Amino acid sequence: MADKLDFATTPLTGSWYRLIPSRFPTIDIYRRVAVPEKWPLAAEIETMTNPRVRLRDKFGRGLEKTNPNKFQNWNHAPFAYPNPDGTWLFGSHVNALELADTVQTALAVAIRKREQFLAATDAPPLDLEMRVLKHEVNGHAFDLRNMALDLPKDARWSLGDKLLDKGGHAAIYVCPVRSTGTIASVFDQDALGSAMQTQHFKFRWDGARISQLYDFRSESDGAPITAEMVFGPQTVLFLNQI
């Protein structure tokens, strides 16, 4: 129960993972659509219109000397663009970065989130290209792994609010969609190290669920994987090889 938690912290280190759609550009988009002579002007326009860049320029000077990684695109974007739906532990008023302990757990989380969105929008059968991001983390986290997973959302969010006033950089808890996995919800960017792109996957949505995955490291452009394999307690080794 939430009221019995002692808010003890534990070291949070190592590599943690999440997936994002591959539609996002991997380079500055103006470098694709403008000649080199126009890049400085395009960059200036981006600074005026992009909230992530504005925050970086407003608060980053000086702060970047202590932790330059916090303004790396993949680290900073979740804190620059509020999530109107909130996260599992925090309401929409708190920006947090949710990371998984393994690629397999990150896949399970990403599959369920994509399924919810595609079902809500009545999407026809389609393929989604996704990429894995690996985030290095170094800080302290509140250990909530003894918290009941069926705790109502309002109670979880109330607990999350209490954590913000108690120090720490993050909270860890059992993954709601894969009980053998762990999620780290990072709410303090100072705990974030470098982030990098690793594997690419394709999610196959059949109109009702994501039924298959494809791992693009294969020479045959990805071998099909039954999506439900990801959620079980068994470790699917090739999914977790970085």
Rounded to 5 degrees, φ, ψ at 11 are: -60, 140
Q: Kindly report, residue by residue over 40-91, the tens digit of the pLDDT.
A: 565 555 555 555 455 555 555 554 455 678 778 888 888 888 889 999 999 9
Residue 212 contacts residue 223 (beta carbons within 8 Å):
no
pTM reported for the whole predicted model: 0.81
Residue 232 has pLDDT above 50, yes or no: yes
Residue 1 has pLDDT above 70, yes or no: no
Distance between CA 31 and CA 24 in Å, rounded?
Answer: 14
The token duo for 185 is 């919800």
Distance between CA 101 and CA 120 in Å, rounded?
Answer: 28
Residue 86 contacts residue 209 (beta carbons within 8 Å):
no
Identify the pLDDT of residue 42. Answer: 52
Looking at every residue in the chain, the average pLDDT score rounds to: 83
Lowest mean pLDDT among 45-59, 92-106, 135-149, 225-239: 45-59
